[in-house]
Structure 1
Amino acid sequence: MDHSSIHLLSHLHLQALWTSLIIIVVFCITFLKGFGPHLFKRTKKQKLPLPPGPKPWPIIGNLPEMVANRPTFRWIQKLMNEMNTEIACIQLGNVHVIPVTCPTIACEFLRKQDANFASRPTSMTTTLISRGYLTTTLVPFGEQWKKMRRIVGNDLLSTTSHQRLEYKRVEEANNLVFHIYNNCKNNIANGNNNVGLVNVRDVAQHYCCNVMKKLNFSRRYFGEGKKDGGPGSEEVEHLDAIFTMLKYIYDFRVSDYVPCLRGLDLDGHEGKVKKAIETVGKYHDPIIEQRIKEWDEGSKIHGEDFLDILISLKDANNNPMLTTQEIKAQIIELMMAGVDNPSNAVEWGLAEMINQPKLLQRATEELDKVVGKERLVQESDISKLNYIKACAREAFRLHPIVPFNVPHVSIKDTIVGNYLIPKGSHILLSRQEIGRNQKVWGNEAHKFKPERHLIMNKSEVVVLTEPDLKFISFSTGRRGCPAIMLGTTMTVMLFARLLQAFTWTAPPNVSRINLAENNHDILLGHPLVALAKPRLTPELYAMHDK
């Protein structure tokens, strides 16, 4: 047996020992706390069965299987496929986790009985990121959520605010094409015929982050930035920290299902999240604190962005409606909410379309017909770009950013589909499996076919929302995303500017883009790198903002 084999066996042995230790600790602590009698008492009260699922161990439920089968979402998908069920119940500690892969059942939870599932779970990461649940999306149902939801919906994301801040979003759409064009132009000296190799994931994520920075702070760069429109080191560090928080925000952790183990950081996530929060705070907090000082001193009296709006809000007694901590937490949540979905959908969509050049041709033909080649596409064109929006819908359907929707929590014992859903259950809508459900999408559910959304759409205008949850873009109900207008605009503008301003092909010596997913998540396994070539006149790529 060679050294590597011995090392592997040793690693596996230690992992198994660690898993067993966790189980023993969980069992002992929960038993000593009198947890077991409560479990058995509740079981006797059940009149209806729970949804089907693996047989749980006493007290600890299916935590051993969860720890032994990573990533957890793939284990859940495999279980449901083996059981041939579209709703399941997996007991993790004292929590019933209810994954759903059927749009009809999903609508039962989020439309017909929405009021019963309007809360959120608490966890180590959500506690840290929301600064003790001061925000909107991450906060359990209650007065704080109601207050912040009103502010975000009525003051930040209203139609009036959206229209007033359009110029900031357009500046970033201009910077996007300016930056990619410079990438192409710099290759002329190398004999590459004005063609640039572009990391689409990188430019898409920074575009989305730039839009949110402009809306929040009225700035693109925390540092000096780059003359070619690209991010500086500060922007790279900031974006990496945002995506670190997104990566761990609702990951499956033992301690989140056994509260008495919180603080032990068994999975090693707490340190990473704290460091990411510290990094983001390094860039956000000085801006926020300086802006609050300006408003207090009266040197600032007009609102330019989301931060100004949050600071200037007053209650009935003319006192600030929000504390500094609430403002800081909400700004982070807004930043996180804006960067991932549009960039992921466009990266996947463009990768699929490069492999199907006819789709690219149809998209550019629509842009040439609606917009022409004498000007860049604008937000006012979005309503007419039905095929571009169909491509975006298909990307949301087939390639969601994460396996599950943000969890919902039942606030009381409820019946769904003749199953008991106990109070405190975590409802996980499988974004990937719902979007690929063959009962809805047919035998070609796994194929990228934008035209399916043109056929299914009964109105003349294609939209990115899907209220019947045949796929999940912005969800629905009380906890649905309030940023539908902003999310739609960012997604379509990113897609449309890339497709109008450049032709896209696979890199040299690559016949097709590899569409394999990551093993540990469902992102494109390798960031999309493609050849871009300008297709408009040079003057359209010049920057027009200051």
Structure 2
Amino acid sequence: MNGDDRFKGRNHINDFLTKLIETKESAEGEEDKLTNINIKALLQDMFIAGTDTVSVAIEWILTELIRHPKILARAQQEIDSIVGYNRLISESDLSKFSFLHSIVKESFRLHPPAPLSVPRMAIEDCVIDGFLIPKGATVLVNIWAIGRDPVCWPDDPSEFKPDRFGPSAPHENVDVKGNDFELIPFGVGRRICAGMNLGLRMVHLVTVTLVHSFDWTLADGDTVDMEESTGITMRKRRPLMAKAIPRLAPEVYI
């Protein structure tokens, strides 16, 4: 579009794809030049990283809420008191749901979408808990194990308890943005997830919308399966099958 006379004078948004195309066109040497294949691969990585992890996180949250109907009812009560039954959630509402935020944190603690961090390399010899990590070693941080460590989480670390992040609780001020090493679902430091803010916003928005709009029960004859699959992302081994029962005014869904 930038090179087409028909589009001259229009305002253009400099998004990621635009910048990649500009880089491709301005490269001086063949070794520095991006190809369409390179650009496609980068965009594919963005979409996969931004959708798979979000869907995994939301599925685990819904699974835990179905397992704990009292927690689900508390979350719905909080949302109803703020939003009511006659409209859907808007993005501006997200900061008001403190208990829902605790639920998301607790699910990230127990079920991090990426159980192992992205690979890192030790830049010098170091000793951690008596073990030598030699310079040049590839390091994978076990985020799953940290979230269940009884030293970091002495109060029933294997149990789903959102109130551990509630007011006056020991972990009230713990966040998931790399500031507290006992809860690092997005990693930490310079290699922290680049899409963290977008991912958090999407997980909160989709989760609160689903919790507010529907009552959730298991499909007939089904049971909650908490077995985890193995891979880069930690999906449920058997996908959640649940019934969504509308709970808002009928016109809201139109």
| TM band (smaller chain) | 0.7 to 0.9
Please name the residue that 1:423 is paired with: 135
Per-residue CA deviations over 1:100-150 (Å, capped at 9, x if unaligned) read xxxxxxxxxxxxxxxxxxxxxxxxxxxxxxxxxxxxxxxxxxxxxxxxxxx
The question of whether the paired residues in 2 share the 8 Å contact of 1:295 and 1:312 is answered with: no
Please name the residue that 1:513 is paired with: 224
Q: Following the alignment from structure 2 to structure 1, what is the Cα–Cα distance between the partners of residues 157 and 104?
A: 16
The question of whether the paired residues in 2 share the 8 Å contact of 1:398 and 1:446 is answered with: yes
The structure whose Rg is larger is 1
Please name the residue that 1:494 is paired with: 206
2:162 to 450, 458, 465: 450
Q: Following the alignment from structure 1 to structure 2, what is the Cα–Cα distance between the partners of residues 298 and 424?
A: 52
Q: Following the alignment from structure 2 to structure 1, what is the Cα–Cα distance between the partners of residues 208 and 14?
A: 25
Shift of 1:414: 3.8
2:48 to 328, 332, 336: 336
Please name the residue that 1:478 is paired with: 190
Q: Say if 1:541 and 1:303 are closer, same or farther in 2 by CA, change over 3 A.
A: farther
The question of whether the paired residues in 2 share the 8 Å contact of 1:389 and 1:464 is answered with: no
2:118 matches 1:441: no
The question of whether the paired residues in 1 share the 8 Å contact of 2:114 and 2:185 is answered with: no
Counterparts in 2 of 1:219-368, with a 5 A limit?
Answer: 294-300=1-7, 301-304=10-13, 306-311=15-20, 319=26, 323-325=34-36, 326-368=38-80
Q: Say if 1:296 and 1:413 are closer, same or farther in 2 by CA, change over 3 A.
A: farther
Aligned residues: 244
Greater helix share, 1 or 2? 1
Q: Say if 1:458 and 1:389 are closer, same or farther in 2 by CA, change over 3 A.
A: closer
TM-score, normalised to structure 2, is 0.84
Q: Following the alignment from structure 2 to structure 1, what is the Cα–Cα distance between the partners of residues 140 and 159?
A: 24
Q: Say if 1:506 and 1:333 are closer, same or farther in 2 by CA, change over 3 A.
A: same
The amino acid that maps onto 1:515 is: M
Per-residue CA deviations over 1:391-439 (Å, capped at 9, x if unaligned) read 1111111012233111111234344455432222111111211110011
In percent, how many aligned pairs have the same letter? 33
Per-residue CA deviations over 1:300-341 (Å, capped at 9, x if unaligned) read 4533583554257579xx947983445333212211220122
The question of whether the paired residues in 2 share the 8 Å contact of 1:403 and 1:432 is answered with: yes
Per-residue CA deviations over 1:446-483 (Å, capped at 9, x if unaligned) read 11111111224545xx8542422212222111111122
2:244 matches 1:532: yes
TM-score, normalised to structure 1, is 0.41
Q: Say if 1:299 and 1:483 are closer, same or farther in 2 by CA, change over 3 A.
A: farther
Q: Following the alignment from structure 1 to structure 2, what is the Cα–Cα distance between the partners of residues 349 and 424?
A: 37
Q: Following the alignment from structure 2 to structure 1, what is the Cα–Cα distance between the partners of residues 13 and 47?
A: 17
The question of whether the paired residues in 1 share the 8 Å contact of 2:122 and 2:136 is answered with: yes
Partner SS state of residue 191, structure 2: coil
Unaligned regions of 5+ residues in structure 2, if any? none
Per-residue CA deviations over 1:155-178 (Å, capped at 9, x if unaligned) read xxxxxxxxxxxxxxxxxxxxxxxx
The question of whether the paired residues in 2 share the 8 Å contact of 1:404 and 1:431 is answered with: yes
Q: Say if 1:324 and 1:358 are closer, same or farther in 2 by CA, change over 3 A.
A: same
Q: Following the alignment from structure 1 to structure 2, what is the Cα–Cα distance between the partners of residues 537 and 304?
A: 38
Q: Following the alignment from structure 2 to structure 1, what is the Cα–Cα distance between the partners of residues 14 and 202?
A: 17
The question of whether the paired residues in 1 share the 8 Å contact of 2:216 and 2:245 is answered with: yes
Shift of 1:491: 0.5
Q: Following the alignment from structure 2 to structure 1, what is the Cα–Cα distance between the partners of residues 107 and 118?
A: 19
Q: Say if 1:403 and 1:533 are closer, same or farther in 2 by CA, change over 3 A.
A: same
Partner SS state of residue 491, structure 1: helix
Q: Say if 1:456 and 1:371 are closer, same or farther in 2 by CA, change over 3 A.
A: farther
1:399 to 97, 106, 111: 111
The question of whether the paired residues in 1 share the 8 Å contact of 2:175 and 2:183 is answered with: no
2:103 matches 1:388: no
Shift of 1:515: 1.6
The amino acid that maps onto 1:388 is: L
Q: Following the alignment from structure 1 to structure 2, what is the Cα–Cα distance between the partners of residues 399 and 458?
A: 19
The amino acid that maps onto 1:513 is: V
Q: Say if 1:311 and 1:458 are closer, same or farther in 2 by CA, change over 3 A.
A: same
The question of whether the paired residues in 1 share the 8 Å contact of 2:110 and 2:158 is answered with: yes
Please name the residue that 1:194 is paired with: none
Q: Following the alignment from structure 1 to structure 2, what is the Cα–Cα distance between the partners of residues 384 and 322?
A: 47
Q: Following the alignment from structure 1 to structure 2, what is the Cα–Cα distance between the partners of residues 366 and 305?
A: 39
Q: Say if 1:319 and 1:416 are closer, same or farther in 2 by CA, change over 3 A.
A: same
2:179 matches 1:467: yes
RMSD of Structure 2 on Structure 1 (CA)? 2.8
Q: Say if 1:305 and 1:390 are closer, same or farther in 2 by CA, change over 3 A.
A: farther
Q: Say if 1:537 and 1:522 are closer, same or farther in 2 by CA, change over 3 A.
A: same
